[in-house]
Chains A and B, each alone.
Chain A
């Protein structure tokens, strides 16, 4: 077991290393972070050269990658532009927990993310919890009543939801509840006039969470239904029933516990993606979360922040995959890791 975990972790580091090189090179060729730094006017050539040296953009991309990865405090940076290093570097590099400074705000990239991450979690956690709870109820109900009207409606709904871009749901909800009925706010986290309060937050949460749930519910409820159907048609459930156990005992102590296993995997694999936020939903509802930060950073070519978001998500995915595998072996002793 320990050996397995260690091997997986080594693989994970290798994987993250490869991802970081590819994404770094791709990103550093993908736009000009200096273009918007002079406000509306493009920066003058001499300012440009100075900014490039300051931000380290004058170096070839592989050198920039090495500075990003292990820092540049072991070498000297050329600030005055005479071609020789004169000032000691200050970056510590990712391996020492320094993701560099945001080009936009000049704050450390991690701090920038730290400002946005809680907002994303405020949006994504209620959405995910609602999705799982509601999916369990309707998934189990429709598995127990297979091919009933409710089940058929659910199947139809799932098909439509699978085929629907989330912005349609979001825009439709905005149109109904905030334009036509004028009941709920359509953007932001708080009302600038009414100030920050929990009740305001909840009001602003309803529409974005609603659209995330409507789309996410399709996938989860189908999984719950499928796994429940598989379990209740298995031999040990028939045995339990033929022993004369009560229907509810069979359902909750025998069927439910086994049916929930695949859902645990699904949740485990989805959690890391919650960190990245919902790019589309956050942008439509002007929610100040990670998805919006990502899009703003991409528009302004803020590489350090972008790299930080991508690597953080990738690392979370890798870690949660491993955790999910481990939890799964605990829940289902038949599975052996090798």
Chain B
């Protein structure tokens, strides 16, 4: 075989394999999320918890959750009452169902309040700078200088009993639920506002923002359609994680009796009920605690998965 022959036999190198089907960024993020095993498991567990509190409330009415029968008070788990009964003979399982609804409601609503404030403060102080920025910066610092739980307890005491009970969807919600949502939201925006501010600071110098400005886009429009969409990823991740944090915070405040009040149950105030019976009736604190841990853990896994999905280069070590 000659060299010439040899060369001619060399197959032409394919520069590219078949062009892969175009994937939208959203799909790509979804795929990366599915590859994060713990995040998928978290989603499933979270789904399970949501099913538990919804299907449970179809089977049992809210009246069942408040039905007390002192002849069976403080009974351990049994066939009839799988999670036992509390100090006035209410079924703990049904209370965790209705309490779970309130705890999840508080988690999501407080997240919405906190994320709105954090995004607004961060965007405004990053975008407008100068006096507004240093003022908001001081406010953020002030909020961070007092231990969160202390200020939460003071705020819970301040607002406690000032908001009347609400009647929604044929159910009565204690006004304290609104109080908790507000105070948890108002004390959990600081870290997000710092992240958003830093992102806005760098984004507003980018070419596409300058281009938008040069064609006469208003500040509001630049923030709304050019800057915020580009800082959406950290906002979504922080929002997810703050749902879990809000659920834990609610549990702390309610544990001290300053949180959700009757007639509403929450995972936190079931714990408060069991506070005096720590020794005799461990089921009173075990079942709501386990539900809190399961929920928050899976929310944290989902948040972690989202972070990796949005930004594969993100620092995974912390």
Which parts of B100-152 form the interface with A (CB within 8 Å)?
138-139, 141-142, 144-147, 149-151
Main DSSP-derived SS at the B contact region: helix
Which parts of A129-165 form the interface with B (CB within 8 Å)?
159-160, 162-165
Candidates A23, A160, A171; contact of B278 at CB < 8 Å: A171
The answer on a CB contact under 8 Å between B318 and A15 is no
The answer on a CB contact under 8 Å between B255 and A167 is yes
B181: interface (CB < 8 Å)? no
Residues of B within 8 A of A124 (CB): none
A294: interface (CB < 8 Å)? yes
Digitize B167-181: 1 where CB-to-A-CB distance is under 8 Å, 0 elsewhere: 000000000000000
Which parts of B245-277 form the interface with A (CB within 8 Å)?
248, 251-252, 255-256, 258, 271
Residues of A within 8 A of B297 (CB): 159-160, 163
Min CB–CB distance B295 → chain A (angstroms): 8
A61: interface (CB < 8 Å)? no
Q: How far is the CA of A15 from the CA of B150 in the complex (A)?
A: 18
Which parts of B165-224 form the interface with A (CB within 8 Å)?
none
A123: interface (CB < 8 Å)? no
Q: How far is the CA of A29 from the CA of B301 in the complex (A)?
A: 41
Residues of A within 8 A of B150 (CB): 276, 279, 294, 309-310, 313
Q: How far is the CA of A164 from the CA of B141 in the complex (A)?
A: 27
Residues of A within 8 A of B282 (CB): 171, 175, 179
Residues of A within 8 A of B248 (CB): 163, 165
Candidates B145, B153, B244; contact of A295 at CB < 8 Å: B153
The answer on a CB contact under 8 Å between B301 and A310 is no
Residues of B within 8 A of A164 (CB): 293, 296
Q: How large is the interface on B (under 10, 10 to 19, 20 to 34, 35 or more residues)?
A: 35 or more
Min CB–CB distance B39 → chain A (angstroms): 12
The answer on a CB contact under 8 Å between A15 and B145 is yes
Residues of B within 8 A of A280 (CB): 149, 252, 255
Residues of B within 8 A of A30 (CB): 154, 157-158, 160
Binding-face segment, A88-96, A107-115, A222-230: A222-230
- Nearest-neighbor residue (CB-CB) of B316 within chain A: A226
Residues of B within 8 A of A226 (CB): 315, 317-318
Which parts of B270-307 form the interface with A (CB within 8 Å)?
271, 278-279, 282, 285, 289, 292-293, 296-297, 299-301
Min CB–CB distance B222 → chain A (angstroms): 29
The answer on a CB contact under 8 Å between A295 and B138 is no
The answer on a CB contact under 8 Å between B154 and A26 is yes
B155: interface (CB < 8 Å)? yes
Residues of A within 8 A of B149 (CB): 279-280
Which of B138, B141, B144 gathers the greatest number of chain A CB atoms within 10 Å? B141
Q: A19-B145, A159-B297 are in contact. Are A174 and B278 (CB under 8 A)?
A: yes
A318: interface (CB < 8 Å)? yes
The answer on a CB contact under 8 Å between B158 and A167 is no
Residues of A within 8 A of B292 (CB): 165, 168
Residues of B within 8 A of A283 (CB): 256
Residues of B within 8 A of A27 (CB): 154, 158
Q: How far is the CA of A327 from the CA of B46 in the complex (A)?
A: 44
A205: interface (CB < 8 Å)? no
Main DSSP-derived SS at the A contact region: helix
A55: interface (CB < 8 Å)? no
The answer on a CB contact under 8 Å between B145 and A29 is no
Q: How far is the CA of A161 from the CA of B25 in the complex (A)?
A: 33
Q: How far is the CA of A11 from the CA of B318 in the complex (A)?
A: 32
Digitize A75-118: 1 where CB-to-B-CB distance is under 8 Å, 0 elsewhere: 00000000000000000000000000000000000000000000
- Nearest-neighbor residue (CB-CB) of B296 within chain A: A163
The answer on a CB contact under 8 Å between A165 and B146 is no
Q: How far is the CA of A223 from the CA of B147 in the complex (A)?
A: 21
Q: How far is the CA of A31 from the CA of B160 in the complex (A)?
A: 9
Q: How far is the CA of A29 from the CA of B151 in the complex (A)?
A: 14
Residues of B within 8 A of A26 (CB): 154-155, 158
Which parts of B19-48 form the interface with A (CB within 8 Å)?
38
Candidates A18, A29, A298, A313; contact of B153 at CB < 8 Å: A298
Residues of B within 8 A of A279 (CB): 147, 149-150, 153
Residues of B within 8 A of A317 (CB): 144-146
Which parts of A7-30 form the interface with B (CB within 8 Å)?
11, 14-15, 18-19, 22-23, 26-27, 29-30
The answer on a CB contact under 8 Å between B317 and A225 is yes
Candidates B139, B157, B252, B299; contact of A165 at CB < 8 Å: B252
Min CB–CB distance A155 → chain B (angstroms): 10
Residues of B within 8 A of A23 (CB): 146, 151, 154
Residues of A within 8 A of B (CB): 11, 14-15, 18-19, 22-23, 26-27, 29-31, 159-160, 162-165, 167-168, 171, 174-175, 179, 222-223, 225-226, 229-230, 273, 276, 279-280, 283, 294-295, 298, 301, 306, 309-310, 313-314, 317-318
Subset of 25 A-B contacts with CB under 8 Å? A15-B141, A18-B139, A18-B142, A22-B142, A23-B146, A30-B157, A30-B160, A31-B158, A159-B301, A162-B300, A163-B248, A163-B293, A163-B296, A164-B293, A165-B251, A165-B293, A167-B251, A171-B289, A223-B318, A225-B317, A279-B153, A280-B255, A298-B153, A313-B145, A314-B145
Seed contacts A223-B318, A298-B154; 17 additional CB < 8 Å A-B pairs: A15-B141, A26-B154, A26-B158, A30-B157, A30-B160, A31-B157, A159-B297, A163-B293, A163-B299, A164-B293, A165-B255, A168-B289, A168-B293, A226-B315, A279-B147, A309-B150, A310-B150
- What 5 A-B pairs come out closest when comparing CB atoms? A30-B158, A226-B317, A163-B297, A163-B296, A168-B289
